[in-house]
Amino acid sequence: MSAPSSQHPGFPRVALFALGGAYFVLGCASLGAVGMVEEIQAGLGVSAAAVASLVTVFSVVYALTAPAAQAVAGHLRRRAAIAGGLTAIAAGCVISAAAPSYPVLIAARLLMGLGAAMTGPFLTAAAATLVAPEDRARALAMVFGGVTASSVLGVPLASFLAQTLGWRWAWGALALAAVICAVVVWQLLPAANKGSRASIATLMAVLRNRPLAMTVAACGVSVVGMFSTYALIAVWLAEVGRLEASMIPPALFMFGFGGIAGNIFAARAVSAMGARGAAIASMVTTLLVMLCLPFAADWPAWTAIALMTLWAGSGMMIMVPVQSLLVALDPERASLTLALNSSAVYLGMAVGATVAGAVYEAFGPAVLPFCSAAMVLAAIGLLVFSGGRVVGRD
């Protein structure tokens, strides 16, 4: 870990905003297809489920290849790795825009997932090493803010572009944004900022390291808990929360707003409680909200929306303290542990969505928050008993 270089004295705000912009593009690439379901359906003559699987394909490819990217390219200058990953995302978007068939679109998603695996972990590793340890949480919050912003703006923006210009032009616009971000990051990120190649032996050592492995597992399980309800939140709001159809979009917007607020608050929470304490606090808050949600059906509609906002804030807040904790536990292998954590997050999304569908089919939507609460409780246990000494402030 190194403090900011002489080339970038003080807090490198502009460079961190550029990294956050790159994460915004990555998030839009991941979830953008959700906003284009009807248009892609009509354009390629496929089912809604087939379009939805584009998100799953991206998530699985990202999860499986992010650690491998550290073994192949971990020694590269991070600006080169990020620019290369963004270029691959842009190429996938261009292929998507020109795709004549669904199989070609799947191939494009595979390329985007590979590009994202080269981008995401390097973005967080770059942010963590651009600043002094006491500024780490603030830097990670700025960069990860791109993800939370994409969850709020990415899908609506993709939907708007698909409706007004067509879904192919929407992918084209995202390709242009990825190229612009690649150029900006290349210009702003110091050339000296780089990591080291991760060997299989290093990967196995990390997986055998109890504090690192249990912290990564805790983050992944907490994401499973979040998506065990969020994947079908619109159904839950309609069938259990009894919200009218017109109230569901504002409720989802408030969820996104809560996520942004939680990400902003995360850095302050880390400063006040330490990374481990902030992560546990966010999980405990999420657990309490999930236990309250089943009773929202008997309360006014605004209470369900308020609970969703609090849930989003606590759920999204966990990312910054967990990433800060992983870097503090082992600064030398931060790139690899952050890549593993990114894999855990995307696997958690895929597993959570699968769990949500299975629970819904077997028991109905009312049980979903209880399922989420059980997952979050397990995540709390993993983090509480993970242990480990930290380097610098945790």
Higher pLDDT, 11 or 186: 186
Q: CA 146, CA 242: separation in Å to the nearest integer?
A: 32
Q: Which pLDDT does position 1 carry in this prediction?
A: 37
Element (H, E) at 114: helix 102-130
- Mean pLDDT of the chain, nearest integer: 85
Task: Write the pLDDT tens digit of every residue in 103-141.
Answer: 999 999 999 999 999 898 888 888 888 888 888 888 888
Q: Which pLDDT does position 8 carry in this prediction?
A: 41
**3-9, Cβ contacts within 8 angstroms, sequence gap of 24 or more:** 3/131, 3/132, 4/130, 4/131, 4/132, 5/190, 5/192, 7/190, 8/130, 8/190
At 70, list the tokens: 């550290």
Handedness of CA 230, 155, 221, 388 (dihedral sign): negative
77 φ/ψ angles, rounded to the nearest 5 degrees: -60, 135
Q: Which pLDDT does position 4 carry in this prediction?
A: 41
Report residue 377's pLDDT band, with 50, 70 and 90 as the boundaries.
very high
pLDDT at 5 over 50: no
The SS3 assignment for 204 reads helix
Stretch 323-349: mean pLDDT, rounded? Answer: 85
Residue among 343, 345, 351 at smallest CA distance from 372: 351
Q: Pick the most confident of 132-146, 169-183, 242-256, 326-340.
A: 169-183
182 φ/ψ angles, rounded to the nearest 5 degrees: -60, -45
CB atoms within 10 A of CB 76: 18
**Which positions ≥6 away from 224 have C-beta within 8 Å?**
348, 351, 352, 355, 375
Q: CA 350, CA 367: separation in Å to the nearest integer?
A: 19
- Judged by average pLDDT, the poorest of 31-35, 115-119, 171-175, 343-347 is 31-35
Share of residues in the chain with pLDDT > 90 (%): 32
**For the chain, how many helices (H) and strands (E)?**
16, 0
Q: CA 382, CA 210: separation in Å to the nearest integer?
A: 10
Stretch 208-213: mean pLDDT, rounded? Answer: 91
Amino acid, res. 362: A
User: Which residues on neighbouring strands pair with residue 194, listed in sequence order?
Assistant: 77
Global pTM reads 0.75
CB atoms within 10 A of CB 101: 11
Task: Write the pLDDT tens digit of every residue in 282-310.
Answer: 999 999 999 988 887 677 777 878 888 89
Q: Which pLDDT does position 9 carry in this prediction?
A: 47
Q: CA 394, CA 279: separation in Å to the nearest integer?
A: 11
Q: CA 117, CA 102: separation in Å to the nearest integer?
A: 23
Q: Which pLDDT does position 239 carry in this prediction?
A: 81
Q: Which pLDDT does position 46 carry in this prediction?
A: 85
Q: Which pLDDT does position 394 carry in this prediction?
A: 52
Task: Write the pLDDT tens digit of every residue in 54-67.
Answer: 888 888 898 888 88
Contact of 105 with 284, CB cutoff 8 Å: no
Specify the DSSP class assigned to residue 296. Answer: G
Contact of 309 with 270, CB cutoff 8 Å: no
Q: CA 229, CA 1: separation in Å to the nearest integer?
A: 38
